[in-house]
Each structure stands twice: as C-alpha cells, then as structure tokens.
Amino acid sequence: MRNNPKVRSIQKVRDTNNIKIEKWKSVTLEKEEFMKKTRKKYLMIVFLTLSITLLPMGVVKAALQANPSTHVKKKDWPVNWMSNIRKMEEMNGSMGLSENLNSDLTSKESNNIDVHMMRNTEYGAIAILSASGYGNSKTLQDSSIKTTTGNKTGVYFTGNNWEHTAGGLQGHIFEGVNVKYYDTYSSAKVGDALECRGWHSAQYFAWVSDGNPYFMRDSGGLFSVSGHSGHGGYAGSDPIPSRGSLWCWTLMVVLSLAF
C-alpha cells in the first residue's frame, strides 16, 4: 500500500497541510504577541500625547502621590476647590509664594508655577496609564496598595470615594474662572477616559446634566463617573474631596494634595 502512488500522494498532501497549519499557528502567535506590544505602546503614546497637549512644550513631567493616610480627608464644593487650590500660590498660601491672582484666577505675574484643581482630562490621562501595561495589573478595589501602579510610586486613589475634577457641562460650571483651568463638555473628549465605561470593574456611569453639571470620579473604581450638583440640598450631593495638579516650567507634578 505504501508504494501505491495514490497513497503516497494523499500522504504528501497531508504532510503539506500539516506544515501549513504549523506555520499558521506560529504566525498567529507572533501576531498576537505583536498586538499585545502594540497596544501597550499605543496606550503609552496616548498618555504622552495628552501630556504634551495639556502642558507647555519643553516641560519635563514627573509624578508625586499623596500620603495614603491623609488624602481625601477634606471635603468641599467644586467652586471652593477651584478657588482655594489656586490661592495656594498667593502670599501666605501653603506653597510659600507671593503670587497675586486676577478675578478669573489667572496669575498677575509669572512665577513659572501653576497649581490648579485637577482637570477632567488630567484625571483621564492618569486613569488610562493605570490601565495600560505600565500601570496597575489589578483593579483599585483588589489592590493592597491603591495606586495607579500598584506600588508606592503611583498616584493614590481609593477606588471607593468620589472626587471632584475640574470639568462639567458647558455653560453651567465655574462662572468667571478662566477656561484653561477646567474642561467644558457637550460630549466626551479624547483622553478623558469618559468613554472607558466599565473598565477595571468600574461600577458607575452617569453623564452630567443641568441639575448635576460637575463631574466626579473614582467611587466604585477608577473609571467610574457621575455628575454632582456643585452644592447641597439633597441626598447624594454632599461636599466631596478633590486634588490638585502643579505645573512648573522645569517640572510637572501631579499632586494628590492632602485635601
């Protein structure tokens, strides 16, 4: 039978097909590995692009986290956070500077430092990096060290406390404040992570509205989002924590300030 030309022909076809299958498997594995590396690079590129977009050219970027035992202890309304964080630069402010502020909270002089309430897009950039191959492989809920990296070098978040970010419904937030200090919305923006609904087991998603025009993030997961009225008056609209971002022309520091 082995010398039968038909049998030899069939066996040859089988051998050829087996070789093709093995090559296909090898190519498929290589493609999958390539896609994994590409996704990591893409997320890193997105984060760096956001950093360049949000910050002046030539700024070196770094990060600093708050002490995990002190952050999110203070609570206030978003308009007060916006004003009080900017006033950290003023004379007798907590930063030891002597800046004078205009009524729209911009600086009258340039001291090469700009501390402000964390914008919604800045929060989004941190969240996206946390979910990348360079971030925390676990959810905040499952992490013993609740940071964006899963270790003490990351930015601290609780994963179960709402925080105000500087952003919300266009025409309804931060009246009189210069728009460079907050993000206005009629729809999601690139890099704000608002369209990453459910990422890392995030439990909540609600868009801002006329009655709740201010964004709040982080409760029920880093990618959770909801709206806040910006003032009291009913359940679920209590004052909540926030955090600041510090820009300077030699260093950009993302601060989880002890608020």
pLDDT at 162: 92
pLDDT at 176: 96
Q: Say if CB 244 and CB 118 are below 8 A apart.
A: yes
pTM (two decimals): 0.71
Chain-centre distance of CA 96, in angstroms?
29
pLDDT tens column, 74-101? 899 999 999 999 998 888 777 778 889 9
pLDDT at 82: 95
pLDDT tens column, 38-68? 555 555 555 444 544 444 444 444 334 455 6
